[in-house]
Amino acid sequence: MNTTVPASVYAQRRAHLAAQLGPGGIAIIPTALERPRNRDSDFLFRHDSYFYYLTGFTEPGACLVLAHDGRSTLFCQPKDLEREIWDGYRLGPAAAPAALGVDAAHSMAELDSKLPRLLENTGCVWYPFATHSGLAARVEGWLNVVRGRVRYGAICPAEQNDLCTLLDEMRLFKDAHEQDIMRRASAISAQAHIRAMQRSARMLRAGEDVREYHLDAELLHAFRDAGSQYPAYSSIVAAGANACVLHYRADTAPVRDGELVLIDAGCELDSYASDITRTFPANGKFTGPQRALYDLVLASQDAAVAATKAGARFNDPHDATVAVLAQGMLDLGLLDKNKVGSAHDVIDKRAYFQFYMHRTSHWLGMDVHDCGSYVEPGEVGQVSERKDPLSGETITNRPSRVLRPGMVLTIEPGIYVRPADGVPEQFHNIGIRIEDDAIVTDTGCELITRGVPVKADEIEALMRA
């Protein structure tokens, strides 16, 4: 259980969700299943984010049932002294109501017998669609039991709705407790990046063989040493040309003097993710071409940060990024203006896509790519208007979410230069990404990951220290 957040916070979330279920509505939210890694061990268990958001409960083998009137029933593993000797302490149904603030608790062994009774005489059953393998079939099985009792006056729910539509919207806005955890996770991750940068420079100065896994080890050490439970995702530690592979994972490749290293890594703390990317010279000193591309990416991030504010659209930071990158690619000769035209043409024809092929942002929270619609409610299937970042003209755009205080998103522009005809050789095999996490505020955004330097001069100074 998370002891850093009061049980009342989870109770408030349950009450807010219950009020949206409608008359006669009932919700079923299971946690994740344990997954076998091989014949005699499981993968490290990580609870389901939706379930945890409503309970703060981290044990496997559990399910929450929430009625429209706010009554909550938890099913969890029963106390079992023998299994607890082998697998660890269990809270148990008897202690769950007081510890978690739920109204009732039962053993998971009773789920199939008690669920039909809970579903009986309700109007609509809500559960997360397409997130738990086999759940839909189990719901059908429980409803079949209810249907078998209609001759005795039981009413079977006539509707099934996707609970994700309600929970995604709730989770999109982070409360003060969530923001505090995410700030602490970001601070831990920032220190991990600093450790990796400094070890790279230190080992190269000493003439030692440096591998990507050496830097990955620094990240893992810093995460756990500061109390983080585990990495939020598989860390990317990409040396040299490997940085041009977007989802490259830390491996055995050498970290060479004169090359750049791209690290995309963040810890998970109390179920909330951080997500930081920094690109730095392995030896602590940027070359001319590396610095030119790095400064361009940083300038594009600055433009995206300025565009991240309440009232703006989710697409605005990306548009601001692309505007800066498009002009910079022309100025540096990555794109030939005689072939592709002006910066406006580069954007219109997506010529920049050769070097920048991903979006600038995604939601961040309990999941790295967190839930939440990227389309403003009520605008599905419609188009919105925006200002062209170069001409200032009003143009139509695909639907895009309006940013509001409490939303958290990443801002992560990049440039990835693979060898190709017409591409200046001095830029070949350079991959750069800079990523920070931003909380949208009333006046702009709060960058919570700047505990690790981002300006080229500051990175070089850090690595000299």
Q: Which residues are catalytic?
A: 40, 247, 264, 275, 358, 362, 369, 412, 416, 433, 435
C-alpha span between 388 and 397 (Å, rounded): 10
Amino acid at 313: R
C-alpha span between 277 and 413 (Å, rounded): 10
Q: Is residue 125 within 8 Å of residue 119, measured between CB atoms?
A: yes
C-alpha span between 44 and 40 (Å, rounded): 13
DSSP code per residue over 319-381: HHHHHHHHHHHHHHTSS-HHHH-SHHHHHHHTGGGGT--S-S--B-SSSSS----SS-TT-TT
Burial (CB < 10 A; 0-12, 13-18, 19+), residue 179, is middle
C-alpha span between 171 and 166 (Å, rounded): 9
Tokens linked to 23:
């008359």
Q: Could you identify the residue written with the tokens 């070089």? A: 460
**φ and ψ at 427, to 5 degrees?**
-100, -5
Host H or E run for residue 280: strand 276-281
Q: Is residue 159 within 8 Å of residue 133, measured between CB atoms?
A: no
The count of residues in the chain is 465
Distances (CA, A) of 442 to 179, 325, 362: 15, 28, 20
DSSP code per residue over 13-58: HHHHHHTTS-TTEEEEEE-PPP-EEETTEEPPP---HHHHHHH---
Q: Is residue 314 within 8 Å of residue 335, measured between CB atoms?
A: no
Beta-carbon count within 10 A of 454 CB: 19
